[in-house]
Structure 1
Amino acid sequence: MSKGIPIKDALKLWEEKTNKVAVESEDIGLQIQWPPIEKMDNTLSTLIECRKLSLSTNMIEKISGISGMKNLRILSLARNSIKNLQGIEVLSDTLEELWISYNLIEKLKPIDQMKVLKIFYVSNNSIKDWIEFNRMGQAPNLVEISFIGNPLCDTMDEGTFRAEAIKKLQNLKKFDGEPVIRGV
């Protein structure tokens, strides 16, 4: 098995491919690296101008090294091996979109601390109880969620689950790709 590529080396390859300077760039894509990125590290905190970062389709297990990313608005960590959201709270004042589908997430704490998060794609993970689901209702600006493919969805038929989910998340405008229409 090959050893993962460090963020520093992945950024160097990205710079060569795009002819851009990473520390000056607003949109950086390090998805589908080979060998894959296995660890987020403090090199990411040097990317102060970055507004959108994609680390999707790698082998990352833990969120870390992002505390210096003060301008980050969109973070894509889909298709990794992430088990929980610990570490994301350092972006609670800036992160507007978190794409973290197709991981191994069971617990959603600290999603409730995300003050400006609007879009949360967490489909196809391992969330199996309403206690964790309800944490999303504590994120004050969350209006769009993709949740399909979690074990909790299989506890009742699709229509009943959707109705229950929408009832629990009062600010929701879009759920699993469909607009939320509330009774008058």
Structure 2
Amino acid sequence: MAKGMTIKDALKQFEDDTGIKAKDAKVVKLIGKIPMIDKMDASLSQLEACEQLSLSTNKIEKIANLNGLKRLTILSVGRNAIKTLVGIEAVNDTLVELWCSYNLIDKFKGLTGMKKLKACEQLSLSTNKIEKIANLNGLKRLTILSVGRNAIKTLVGIEAVNDTLVELWCSYNLIDKFKGLTGMKKLKVLHMAHNKVADVGEVGKLSSIPTLEDVLLIGNPIEEAKSEEGVWMAEVKKRVPKLKKLDGVVLVGDTEEA
């Protein structure tokens, strides 16, 4: 197996390409290196000024050696081979956005120790192997959660962010009920296309979310059945009258605007 590029060598390339010393750089992009980076090694500790770090499109298996990045606010490690979020705790106090889609994560393991994650507002874990929403209790500022294209069967566990969540992106999962959402206080956007909702009665539960404006349910069994009958939009508007947008269509009174 070919040896991967080290962080040390990747940072040397970065310095040569940009003319900026790694220790002084606020934005560091080590994306899709050839050969690919396979380890987040101790050389990352020199990134003392780094606020945004991108290691996307490599073959990293583990999050590690972030302790020295005291100013890190955005971390992008999408399209790697990461199996766990253990190691992300090192940036508990500063991280605002974590982009970790297209990996091999099967649990929210690692978030259990993030009780001091005071800044995190956006968490992207789409296209992984997650089966259950859990361990979000420490994310006191989370506003956007993206977990589309996983194997999630229930939204139970999402209640941990009832007070802050504004957008939930969870299309292409196995969810058949809205249980867990009814206590949301700020949720405006719910994109839950291509799931397993089959009961029109479930749709009515969304009316308990006073802030909800934009819902995407296309590709669910109930949407397909009611659309075939020609009554889908009417059924939803009857049950969730304050909704402003459904499946990409703006709802204006009794009319619809594409």
TM-score between the two structures when normalised by the length of structure 1: 0.86
Distance 1:26 1:165, change over 3 A: same
Give the corresponding residue for 2:210: 183
Structure 1 CA distance for aligned equivalents of residues 149 and 9 of structure 2? 34
Structure 2 CA distance for aligned equivalents of residues 183 and 137 of structure 1? 23
- Structure 1: gaps of 5 or more residues: none
SS in 2 for 1:134: coil
Give the corresponding residue for 1:172: 165
Give the corresponding residue for 2:98: 98
Q: Which amino acid aligns with 2:11?
A: L
Contact 1:45 1:65 in 2 (8 A): yes
- Structure 2: gaps of 5 or more residues: 171-186, 191-208, 212-258
Tell me which structure has the larger Cα radius of gyration.
2
Structure 2 CA distance for aligned equivalents of residues 87 and 165 of structure 1? 22
Percentage of identical aligned residues = 40
- Structure whose residues are more often helix by fraction: 1
Structure 2 CA distance for aligned equivalents of residues 165 and 144 of structure 1? 15
Q: How many residue pairs end up in the alignment? A: 173
Superposition pairs of residues 89-168 of structure 1, within 5 angstroms: 89-112=89-112, 113=114, 114-129=117-132, 133-152=133-152, 155=153
Q: Which amino acid aligns with 1:5?
A: M
Give the corresponding residue for 1:43: 43
C-alpha deviations, 1:48-86, integer Å up to 9, x for none? Answer: 100000000000000111101000000000000000011
Distance 1:167 1:90, change over 3 A: closer
Structure 1 residue 115 displacement after superposition: 2.5
SS in 1 for 2:135: helix
Give yes or no for the alignment of 1:67 onto 2:94: no
Q: Higher RCO, 1 or 2 (CA under 8 Å, sep at least 6)?
A: 1
Contact 1:172 1:180 in 2 (8 A): no
Contact 2:136 2:158 in 1 (8 A): no
Structure 1 residue 116 displacement after superposition: 1.6
SS in 2 for 1:151: coil
SS in 2 for 1:67: coil
TM-score between the two structures when normalised by the length of structure 2: 0.63
Contact 1:7 1:37 in 2 (8 A): yes
Contact 1:37 1:58 in 2 (8 A): yes
Q: Which amino acid aligns with 2:189?
A: V
Q: Which amino acid aligns with 1:183?
A: P
Structure 1 residue 136 displacement after superposition: 2.1
